[in-house]
Amino acid sequence: MEIKSLATVAMIEDVICDVCSSSTRIPSYGLQYGRLEAQWGYGAQHDGEHYQVHLCELCFFRVLSSLRRERMVNGMFDDDKSFSADGFGLISADNFLGAN
């Protein structure tokens, strides 16, 4: 026997970009956003601090571009090819179902 009752469940209706304040909801496709997050622990200068920034697609790629440029500058005079900016941060492509 199932006994049911109505419950109030909190749902994420929208995620607002923390940089440009735009909605990350794409009509008919849902929420599309990136997240920059860090939780610093013992030994870190920011021990105990937890950061989380939600980014729309445009702001995410602006941040990624800035980091990519910084990476290129840091490795400019190194022969080490691991400083290449190609695919920086990209874990997978053509992953349309969102599987890891």
Nearer residue to Zn ion within complex by CB, 36 or 85: 36
Nearer residue to Zn ion within complex by CB, 62 or 68: 62
Q: From the CB of 56, what's the least distance to Zn ion, in Å?
A: 3
Q: How many helices (H) and strands (E) does the chain have?
A: 1, 4
Estimate the share of the chain in helix, then strand, then coil, as percent rounded to the nearest 5.
Answer: 20, 20, 60
Q: How many residues does the chain have?
A: 100
Binding site for Zn ion (CB under 5 A): 17, 19-20, 56, 59
Q: From the CB of 62, what's the least distance to Zn ion, in Å?
A: 8
